[in-house]
Structure 1
Amino acid sequence: MRENLTADREANAIRMKRSTFAGVFLLVEGSTDKVFYERFVKKDCCNVIVISGKPSSKLKSISVLSILEKQQFQGVLAIVDADFDHLESSVPNIPNLVRTDTHDLETMLLQSLALDKVIAELGSEEKIAKFRDIRTALLDAGMPIGYLLWISKLDELNLTFNNLEFGKFIDKKTLTLDESELIQHIKNKSQAFTLKNEDLQKRIQEQRDESHDPWQVCCGHHLVEILSLGLQKAIGSMEAKKVEADALERELRLAYESSYFCQTQIYALIRRWESDNPPFKVLRGEQDKD
């Protein structure tokens, strides 16, 4: 009930801003998302608004959008992380909602050449040359974590994935993941001691499907944590504090060029939304300078 009231207040605040701003209200999930998307929007035509809350900023963003749509409020668009939406057939299509191409913003960054630029800056050229493909290594290690997160959602297990200690189940030298150690670590974090390790391992195998795109299964935050371990040993020699996940995500955002964004599906969807909702504009044109 409190969450609904909060969404109502957010929607009402946006309605009140309409008297002083005639452009688009772009809803995003967090402050880092705001920083990222503001690089590409036409600021005099688009106001980026952070919608944060529990249990999920994504759910709250959709709730705020739904309230405004029911009141026929024009010029509002929301961008949310896809999470597992692209893998689930029951997800509704919402005209004023755009989902990330991959699981989340961070996976979009890692899929792009921004990753190559960061690795070249922070990694060891000699170690990188000897190491197998870094993206493949990240995805291979991240898939079991992603599947377990998905299973927790589907089966309502309420497992905890915050503040995981990745070094306890991932080898820094090879970036290979020990699935048994992963399951035990998450069980300990979640205090879910009644769950059996073998049952969770079986569920992971059942959920696996070769048709699943790893970029949709893996959570970007998890992949960045794995990358942090890699830069300490497998592909670099950095001190842990210098390649913490938050710092790496910032480096990836800074390395991400506008040309990468223009090649994404999310860019195409926003352009289509602009065409369907004149005179509202979200993105900068080629003539707009930084």
Structure 2
Amino acid sequence: MREHLTPDRLANKIRLMRTQYQGTFLITEGDTDARVWKNLVNTRLCSVENANNKQKAIAALDILEKDNCAGVLAVVDADFERLEGNISLTPNLLMTDSHDMETMLLQSPALEKVLAEYGSEDKKNKLTKSTGQDIPTLLILPGVFIGYLRWLSLKEGLSLKFEDLSFKKFIDETTLALDKFKLIKTVKNNSQRHDLDEQILHKQIEDLKQKTHNPWSVCCGHDLICILSIGLCKAFGSCNTKQVETIILEKDLRLAYERSFFSRTELYQAILQWEAANQPFQVLASIEE
């Protein structure tokens, strides 16, 4: 099964494939990322290999680099690495422009395409006029605080659990405003960390925040999509919950993401530079293909 794929097994698979295949191997950290990449790469010249998580992707790349296996590139989510000042020590490891692949999709015109499919233009115009904020900003405003809580948990080893949160407990369905203390309480309860003081957590988050932090690097894409789902039900749409489940929205954003959108990113330029330094290996498909 995919979860049992170890870095050694992935490296061995690529070594074996190399005996028959002379193209590039692109290692990704997850299945959903792999699906995005399969629409962006030249599939004749680049094989996308899913490592199943970030650590395995990096470890498999390290094994192959030590074996001097050429033509292997890994692309992983930046997560909080840039905010922590961590940089890749190998040119064969690249990171997303922002927190993760989902935030890259949300920053692109793919979001407008999804809003056009599920949203209400009248509701959207009314909301943006009343708040003075566009839809991406309305997602970012609550999302960034959640991101800081995630980052704080990692930095302080709090082991907070964010899986299966009910976002409606702390996100206003009409305005998308965040109740910060309801968020903290919900995450505490979800994590069975009743020992943590909510006021102290709030202060620690405020201390962690800095104006120099790019909010798209702080926010987790999944959180933003959860907020988007809520918004499409009431704030700027009239969908029912099942119509805009996060798994559906994530799929629609992937399908709406065009090669021309990707060509405007820093990651695209970094891959072009990698191709130039690793000829004859190629990764990207042309925009016209």
TM-score range (shorter-chain normalised) is over 0.9
Q: What is the alpha-carbon distance in structure 1 between the residues aligned to residue 5 and residue 46 of structure 2?
A: 26
* TM-score normalised by structure 1 residue count: 0.94
Cα distance change, pair 98–90 in 1 and its aligned pair in 2 (3 A): closer
Query: Quick one: distance in 1 between partners of 2:84 and 2:118?
Result: 37
Matches within 5 A, 1:246-261: 246-261=247-262
Whole-angstrom distance in 1 between the partners of 2:4 and 2:243: 40
Q: CA deviation at 1:6?
A: 2.1
Q: Is the 8 A contact 2:30 2:54 kept in 1?
A: no
The answer to whether 1:113 aligns with 2:109 is yes
Count of paired positions: 282
**Structure 2 contact 174–235 (Cα < 8 Å) conserved:** yes
Question: Where does residue 76 of structure 1 map in the other structure?
Answer: 72
Q: What SS does the aligned partner of 1:86 have?
A: coil
The unaligned stretches of length 5 or more in structure 1 are none
Deviation string 1:87-131 (CA, Å, 9 cap, x unpaired) is 121334321011011111110111111111111221111101111
- 1:158 shift after superposition: 1.1
- What is the alpha-carbon distance in structure 2 between the residues aligned to residue 116 and residue 281 of structure 1? 31
1:87 aligns with 2:83: yes
User: Which letter maps to 2:65?
Assistant: E
SS at match of 2:158: coil
**1:4 positional shift:** 11
Q: Which residue identity lines up with residue 68 of structure 2 in the other structure?
A: Q
Q: Which letter does structure 1 place at the counterpart of 2:48?
A: V
| In structure 2, C-alpha distance between the alignment counterparts of 1:4 and 1:222, rounded to whole Å | 27
The equivalent residue for 1:283 is: 284
- For the 8 Å contact 2:174–2:231, the answer to whether it is kept is yes
Does residue 103 (structure 1) correspond to residue 104 (structure 2)? The answer is no
Aligned pairs for 1:121-136 (under 5 A) are: 121-132=117-128, 133-136=134-137
Gap runs ≥5 in structure 2: 129-133
SS for the counterpart of 1:224 is: helix
Which residue is 1:262 aligned to? 263
Give the alignment's Cα RMSD to 1 decimal. Answer: 1.5
Q: SS state of the match for residue 25, structure 2?
A: strand
Moved more, 139-148 or 113-122: 113-122
Partner amino acid, structure 1, of 2:277: D
Q: Give the letter for the 1:68 counterpart.
A: L
Deviation at 1:11, TM superposition (A): 1.0
Amino acid at match of 2:105: L
Amino acid at match of 1:70: K
Q: Which residue of 2 aligns with 1:50?
A: 50
SS of residue paired to 1:206: helix
Matches of 1:274 and 1:67, distance apart in 2: 21
Who is 2:8 aligned against? 8
Give the Cα–Cα distance (whole angstroms) in 2 for the partners of residues 125 and 23 of structure 1: 46
Does residue 28 of the first structure (1) align with residue 28 of the second (2)? Answer: yes
- Counting only pairs closer than 5 Å after superposition, residues 208-223 of structure 1 correspond to structure 2 as 208-223=209-224
Q: Which residue in 1 is equivalent to 2:58?
A: 62
Give distance in 2, aligned partners of 1:92 and 1:20.
30
The separation in 2 between residues aligned to 1:145 and 1:282, in whole angstroms, is 34
Displacement of 1:138: 0.4
Deviations 1:129-162 (A, max 9, x none): 1112111110001011100101111111111011
Moved more, 11-20 or 82-91: 82-91
Which amino acid in 2 is paired with 1:277? Answer: N
**What is the TM-score of this pair, normalised by structure 2?**
0.94
Q: Provide the C-alpha distance between the structure 2 equivalents of 1:40 and 1:231, rounded to a whole number of angstroms.
A: 28
Q: Which residue of 2 aligns with 1:147?
A: 148
Work out whether residues 5 and 51 of structure 2, in 8 Å CA contact, stay in contact via their aligned partners in 1: no
Q: Secondary structure at the match of 1:77?
A: strand
